[in-house]
Structure 1
Amino acid sequence: MTRTEIENSVQELYVGILGRSADATGLKYWADEIEAGTMVLENTRAAFTQQDEYTSIYGGLSSAELVTKVYQNMLARDPDSEGLAYWSSELDGDGPVTPDMLVLAVLNAAKEGNGADNSIVINKTAAATDFTNRSSDKVADKEFLSAAKQVVDSISQDTDSVTEAQTLTTSLLSGLNDRFILKINYENHTLGAYSVDQLKQDAGPNADSTNIFGAAEVVSIGDNQKLKVTLEAGSVKNGIQWYSRFDDQQELYFYYEITYAEGMQWTAGIKGPGLGAKVGDNNPTGLNDIGIDGGFSLRTMTREDGKAVQYIYDQRKEDGKAGEDVDLKTTNGDPVVFQPGEVIQISQRVKMNTPNVADGELVTTINGEEVLNLTDRIWSQSGEDGINSLFFDIWHGGSNIDKFIPSIDSHVYIDNIGISTQPITPDLFN
């Protein structure tokens, strides 16, 4: 099957079994599994019936009620008495028929009949696909699931019902919660210098910068546009430094893509972005006394030769140093080393600690591989502060200035920046 055929088949499962449009993340997961050969469609159907959502819909129903529910989901009608009796008997008997097989049988019969039932299947799948494609930026919460069901339930055999469902989708999406707290890519930006005004449009009015003028510009790279950051020779902290402030959160996901240009001069370190927290208007410095909340920051940065580390300001101290380097390692135990010219996809999941308990979490993933998993951190001693800031730094720098000064200009390219309450995948920026 082609990718489109796979996604269409999975969408039919969402409609027939769960009675709703697919969420983009779920659809992608199942389609990826089938396309990779990890699962086949038959396994996927069975897996749907093992989900909590399935249990919440069908749990406690008799076989007759289950058959009726599937018919209503897929065909927008009740089964005829003969079909109801047959399938109820099959589900109650000792034979091999399972609920997912019932869905397949109803679906195949509708398609083979090529009548009103087939029109309903086609229309429901089309409306569901439209909803899925336009709702990828929304949180798949209770309100989302309700909207996803309303769209499918509105469909009839009339093709005009698809157009009406699209209008309904537009209305429903306006009332759903956004998946992203912050989402930036540069495809629709004007090429040229990147200003603080543009930053505030991208990252919100609470975003601010200590250094962006002249160092950043939007450029065209192949078929994409990216933010090009110039790290000038001869000094440190030349590059970009900005932050975005938002409401305290207990758990967040952060994603961005970075490319260090060919000929990169790493020096002793290049700071990178990361989530964190400010306390009041004060930036975290890593110098607050143990037990005194001073905020925290979790930036991913490079050291000599492109070695990647997690650079942490938090309640934990080592030899009086402000920041702590935590090595990033592959599943084989090898150090992570960034290569010039490579598009690097970096993501973080940060979870706040229980007050006065060292159970804060940080998971860092690079190009889909988990390279760090911390579960013993105190991000806020009191628990009064949550994750509330993105610190976006790209510059050479550190305490021993001479080691960080580059002798040549270097360039870094940034794209697809996102902060969300849910996991972020690259396709969400398409």
Structure 2
Amino acid sequence: MDLHLRLAHWIRTHPRTIDVCLVLAILLLFVLPFAADGVPGYTLIVGVSMAVTVPLVWRRSRVVLSAGLVAGVSVLQLITGIEPVPAQFVILITLYTLAAHGPRWAGVGGLGLAVAGAAIGLVRYGDMIGLGPGQPVLTTVPLFLILLFLVESLVLLAWTLGDLSRSRRLAYRALEDRTRRLEVERQQERDLAAADERSHIAREMHDIVAHSLSVIITQADGARYASAQTPELAVRTLGTIAETGRGSLREMRRLLGVLRGDETASTRPLPTLDDVDSLVQSVRRSGVHVACRRTGSPRGDLPPGAELTAYRVIQESLTNVLRHAGAATTAEVVLDHGPRGLGITVDDDGRGAAADPATAGARQGIRGMTERVRLYDGSVAAAPRSGGGYRVEAFIPYTQA
């Protein structure tokens, strides 16, 4: 930080120290010499100087009180006829402080009082500067007007500088508040983005791991029972387990590579609706009879993200069939391209409402499906069927042009 910036910061953060130093400097330069020289009437000069100078110590902490003391002493001088002292210029400092730090009514009132006091002071003490009654009118009036203009200009200048300082301080404070609000909003946006990213990662991990593990567990159970009777079937089942595990591992590596920002990570295309048939085939190899039907024709476009969402809905629904529906289950997947969007229905004739609560989990899959579909203004409904089994229905509208 530059020296002048550090100095300005120190001045802003130590106002009382600055004011005390200012009072000491004024007393040292404009009061102490009169006391040291013992000039006639120095006691009165020192007393008046102290009376108008010491209140500057509180000029920013007690603005109106400090200005009132200075104004009271000055008015008392005009009334009693006590001559001005060299330290009387602190009136300009007081007027500046009123305009800069005091309430608006006090600043305006102080300006009016200072303007009137300057004019009255010139009349009251005119003989001290050659404006006495014995002087020629042609000389006195122009000189009086010139002095009045100069004095009132100093008064207006002090007040104007104070008002400018006030405006600058308020603008600086507004900028600080705005910067603080922006920092808070930026932190909130980062927190929201992090929370959204965590939810996204959780959905991806669940979809990848849950489906693959469900297939592996189902195939492993089948291989265990088939190994005693039909070893060839067990070998094929173990091959399916290995293939599913490798595919899951590839997906996991791809996801972790993206999270690490690894530019060399796999960037193969994400699943779309065209990959539903492969998904159905993998579930069929696990022993579940799955049929897939497509009805209607697309009347609009689904963005790639929406197609991935539709794929994940079907994947999660079939995973739940593998996990909860029971043995010898039949499932059907229906993709209906309607006039407003894509409808997805996954039915099975498994246990439905009678599914084992211990294996039902925390409904993380249904929650993840709902979050995904809502991103595209869609809806999801999942519930047991009245005649047995379970049904998942989802709707994803087409992209509006």
Superposition TM-score, scaled by structure 2 size: 0.21
RCO comparison, higher one (Cα < 8 Å, 6+): 1
TM-score of the aligned structures, taking structure 1 as reference length:
0.20
Q: Higher helix fraction: Structure 1 or Structure 2?
A: 2
